[in-house]
Amino acid sequence: MRLCVIATNVAETSITIANVKYIVDCGKAKTKYYDKLTGVSTFRIEWTSKASANQRTGRAGRTAPGHCYRLYSSAVYNDSFADYTPPEIVRKPVEDLVLQLKTLNIDRLANFPFPTPPDLKAIHVAEQILIQLNALDSKTPTKKITELGRRMSAFPINPRYSKMLVIAQENQVLLPYIIALVAALSVNEVLTNGQIKIQKDNQELSISLDDVRRQWIGQGESLLFGDMMVLLKAIGALDHGNSKNYLTVCTHYGLRPKAMTDIRKIRRQLIQIVKSILPETASILDSRLLPPTEQQICLLRKILAAGMVDRLAKRIEGPVVVNGHKANNAYQTLLLEEPVFIHPSSVLVNDLPTFICYQELHETTRIFIKNICGIQMDWIVQLNPHLCSFGPIEDEPCPRYDEIQDKMVCHRKATIGQRVSWSLGPSIETVFPLDTIDRFRWFGKYFLDGIICPRLLQFHPALLCSSNAMVKSWASLMERTQKFLNALVAKQIDNRTQLIEIWSTEPQYLLDIYCTWLPESLHTQVRSVWPPIPK
């Protein structure tokens, strides 16, 4: 009986097989590369290094005399082979490395004595990504780490995923789903392709795994969750399956057993970290994963959009030209000029949401995006407004006080992207910009209307002048409006919380100014309810 082993370059060092006497070395290796600027990954088949070739030779004759047959000449070996394989640090994105060094207060990374330093361009790109994630402060000269960045650094994973975990801590019921999702996204090639056998009407039928997964995701929010829903379903299936039938369950659902084992290990590690930060989450995290509700899926999509903040794409209407041929169903990303396409293995390949976020870009004959989730672009304004460009404040609808946020909000036209400029609709409601005095004018108007402090609503009909005077262009010509505005600006008061804090130390704040807006006959009554703190 003869033993014949066909192996990739993993056999160079990772495994040792006894009784191998002959090696046939093609001299090639498939290596994954990342574009430093765009993050597009490509696999390249190229000559391996001299060190790797020598390792391959060493696999033969470990227990007995052996021989290696090299399918290349000595001239190719001497002229085309590098001495060593480039280390991973110069081939992969380094945002996780940069974040960890910033956590140690090592801010000037160009001066750090790396054994093999990463490209300065890669460090710059990593810093820009971390700034977009709010993990670094762009306003400081050395881009110091923020409080959010320090919380993210507690997790030994990609910063995009660690931000998702930090956000999920605000809504702890979502933590089990985000942990499971992050673990799945941290492992390559979780799903397999092919056919499975099913029983229907007493007949055995073959059905593709892609069709099975499209049935998993259903409709509504679950459908828009896309490939992320498939990953959650896969993890949930193993959670509720019989551990004795682990391989059977993996085969039935088209899951790679090795990948699912790695996911379990990562989940276990992340759960331990979260429990050390939030001990009260132990009961939630130790239970089996249940199917999320529609409302929970919507929140999970928002969290995913916050983490994949630079990996967004918009559907292109109509055909595009790729390699001289027309192609439909293309998307445009924030980073690339070339159109990209949803990978055929995605469950959303036929549904084509208008806006999506994705995990990775991969280039073969085209550039494909993998692990897709449908999103709403106005979420980006809520989660990462610093990525958007805003137009002037619009007159209609007029600004208003949002009681839930306790902030003044207004409507503005908004776009996202620097290289591209995607409109987010006719206008969107967003928090008042800090660089305009108008937020104090509108806050003053709603204070006079009794909306900020409902106890003042009883005096609104008796105002000597309409509260609209606060926001008119000629407001500075009236003494009472100018005094009111100056008082708000002096203390930077544009929300109810700040106002109540001021009243705790200065209970007479705004009293005399407010009285100038009312007849003298009401002044005593106003003083009796001042400060008008909402009960």
Among residues 77, 76, 129, 75, which one has the least CA distance to residue 102? 129
Among residues 240, 382, 368, which one has the least CA distance to residue 298? 382
* Residue that terminates a domain, selected from 362, 397, 431: 431
- 362 burial via Cβ count (<10 Å: 0-12, 13-18, 19+): middle
In a domain, 159, yes or no: no
* Residue that terminates a domain, selected from 305, 324, 356: 305
Omega within 30 of 0 (cis) for the link into 93: no
**What are the structure tokens assigned to 410, written together?**
């207004």
CA distance 534 to 455: 7
pLDDT at 39: 64
Residue 215 and residue 312 in one domain: no
In a domain, 314, yes or no: yes
**What are the structure tokens assigned to 199, written together?**
């029983």
Residue 177 and residue 296 in one domain: yes
In a domain, 108, yes or no: yes
Residue-level pLDDT, tens digit, the chain, 535 residues: 678 888 887 777 766 777 788 889 999 988 887 776 666 777 888 899 999 888 888 888 777 788 889 999 999 999 999 998 888 888 888 899 999 999 999 888 888 898 888 888 889 989 999 998 999 998 888 899 999 999 999 999 999 999 999 999 988 999 999 999 999 999 988 888 776 666 665 666 667 777 777 777 778 888 899 899 989 988 888 887 766 778 887 887 788 889 999 999 999 999 999 999 988 888 888 888 888 999 999 999 999 999 998 889 999 888 888 877 888 889 998 888 889 999 988 889 888 899 999 998 888 888 899 999 999 887 888 777 777 888 888 888 899 999 888 999 989 888 887 777 788 777 888 888 888 888 999 999 999 999 999 999 999 999 988 999 998 888 778 888 999 999 999 999 999 999 999 999 999 999 999 999 999 999 999 999 999 887 6
Residue 312 and residue 287 in one domain: no
Residue 312 and residue 421 in one domain: no
In a domain, 275, yes or no: yes
**Residue 521, number of CB atoms within 10 A of its CB:** 8
DSSP characters for 183-197?
Answer: HHHTSS--B--SEEE
Residue 364 and residue 425 in one domain: no
Residue 519 and residue 422 in one domain: no
CATH assignment at residue 20: 3.40.50.300
In a domain, 2, yes or no: no
Among residues 380, 399, 171, which one has the least CA distance to residue 296? 171
Among residues 214, 249, 202, 373, which one has the least CA distance to residue 303? 373
* Residue that terminates a domain, selected from 305, 323, 340: 305
pLDDT at 4: 84
Residue 237 and residue 169 in one domain: yes
pLDDT at 58: 81
CA distance 16 to 55: 11
Residue 126 and residue 199 in one domain: no
In a domain, 501, yes or no: yes
Domain interval for residue 207? 165-305
Residue 51 and residue 107 in one domain: no
Q: Which residue stretches of 58-169 are H helix? A: 74-80, 95-103, 120-132, 147-152, 159-168
Residue 19 and residue 98 in one domain: no
In a domain, 112, yes or no: yes
Among residues 430, 443, 444, 435, which one has the least CA distance to residue 394? 430
For CA atoms 36, 39, 44, 47, give the dihedral sign: positive
In a domain, 268, yes or no: yes
pLDDT at 492: 92
Q: How many domains does the chain have?
A: 6
Residue 400 and residue 427 in one domain: yes
CA distance 465 to 273: 59
Residue 461 and residue 344 in one domain: no
- 425 burial via Cβ count (<10 Å: 0-12, 13-18, 19+): exposed
